[in-house]
A and B are shown apart, each in its own frame.
Chain A
Amino acid sequence: EVQLLESGGGLVQPGGSLRLSCEASGFIFSTYAMSWVRQAPGKGLEWVSSISGSGGTTKSYADSVKGRFTISRDDSKNTFYLQMNSLRAEDTAVYYCGLRTVDYWGQGTLVTVSA
């Protein structure tokens, strides 16, 4: 059974940083691309970033986070990450990790950017 478990969300001040983690199980993690998708309160879904499988050599980002967010993965830990820097109020959202784009979803972790 595929399972995705996010962690790392919380309250952060504008300009601050957070690192989200997503631990995967139930499939051969290293071979699959993985993604982050977010949903601001009361809003729709927004793709944030994706990383390729087999080493994560290909990374892509939404324009809204490019230069501020970094996606990475550690296949030895079946985990991938989203390092979020220079956070803004508009980054406030539930962040979901996903297998590919997106076949399976994690439960989400809330990131709140507020003073």
Chain B
Amino acid sequence: QAVVTQEPSLTVSPGETVTLTCGSSTGAVTSGHYPYWFQQKPGQVPRTLIYETIVKHSWTPARFSGSLLGGKAALTLSGAQPEDEAEYYCLLSYSGVPVFGPGTKVTVL
């Protein structure tokens, strides 16, 4: 089974930009993996930010954007806010079988 990789943790200063990545053990991530990005704060239900690489939901703050970068899926947070401190999970689909990444803990400090 494929393994999805993410940075364990990242720290960003308020107002700065940070990019989270999502890699695949099988090779380059493409749009065919239909990358998703989720945000989860402690004690809360996950919230879907991005689907199909770049598509935002109506509730996704404009400062979040998705892309493909260097063979990985990427989530860029431009102008981090204190409320963005959370765990971020990506998900890739492999022939219809979804696999979550282990999550990236983002600290805004």
Contact = CB atoms under 8 A, between A and B. Distances in A.
A110 to B, nearest CB: 13
B100 A47 contact: yes
Interface residues of A, number: 20
Interface stretch (A19-27, A82-90, A100-108): A100-108
B36 interface: yes
Contacts of B66: none
Interface string B84-109: 00010101010011111111000000
Main secondary structure of the interface of B (DSSP, over half): strand
B38 interface: yes
Given A47-B99, A103-B57, 16 more contacts: A37-B100, A44-B103, A45-B38, A45-B40, A45-B100, A45-B103, A47-B91, A50-B96, A58-B96, A60-B97, A96-B45, A100-B51, A101-B91, A101-B98, A102-B91, A106-B45
Interface of B: 1, 36, 38, 40, 45-48, 51, 57, 87, 89, 91, 93, 96-103
